Amino acid sequence: MSVWLAFKTAKPGKKAEAMNVQKMVMLKETAGQVANNLALIVGGSFLIALGANGILVPLHMGSGGFVGLSMVLHYLMPFIPLSVVYLMVNLPVYFLGYKAVGKRFMLYSLLGTALSTAALQWVHIIIPVKEPVPAALLAGILMGMGAGLTLRSHGSSGGLDILSVVLLKKFSVRLGTTALFFNTGILIALIMTMTLETAIYTLIYLFVFTHVLDLVVSGFSRRKSIIIISKKWREISKGIISEINRGATLIPAQGGYTGEREMVLYSVVAIQEISRFKRLVNQIDPKAFVVIGSTDEVMGWRIGNQPHW
Measured distance CA(216)–CA(185) in Å, rounded: 24
Same domain, yes or no, for 232 and 87? no
Q: What is the DSSP letter of 56?
A: I
Determine if the pTM surpasses 0.75.
no
Angle in degrees, 0-180, between the axes of helices 82-100 and 103-122, rounded to the nearest 10: 150
Q: Which residues span the domain enclosing 102?
A: 28-220
- Give the pLDDT confidence score for residue 10 in this predicted structure: 40
Same domain, yes or no, for 114 and 243? no
Numbers of helices and strands, H then E, in the chain: 11, 4
Same domain, yes or no, for 284 and 178? no
> Cβ atoms within 10 A of the Cβ of 242, count?
9
Same domain, yes or no, for 139 and 179? yes
- Give the pLDDT confidence score for residue 5 in this predicted structure: 33
- Give the pLDDT confidence score for residue 220 in this predicted structure: 64
Number of structural domains in the chain:
2
- Give the pLDDT confidence score for residue 200 in this predicted structure: 86
Inside any domain, residue 3: no
Same domain, yes or no, for 272 and 171? no
Inside any domain, residue 204: yes
Same domain, yes or no, for 52 and 186? yes
- Give the pLDDT confidence score for residue 108 in this predicted structure: 87
Give phi and psi for 199, each to the nearest 5: -65, -40
- Give the pLDDT confidence score for residue 22 in this predicted structure: 42
Q: Residues of the chain whose pLDDT is less than 70?
A: 1-29, 71, 74-75, 82-83, 193, 219-220, 300-309
Same domain, yes or no, for 80 and 228? no
Inside any domain, residue 196: yes
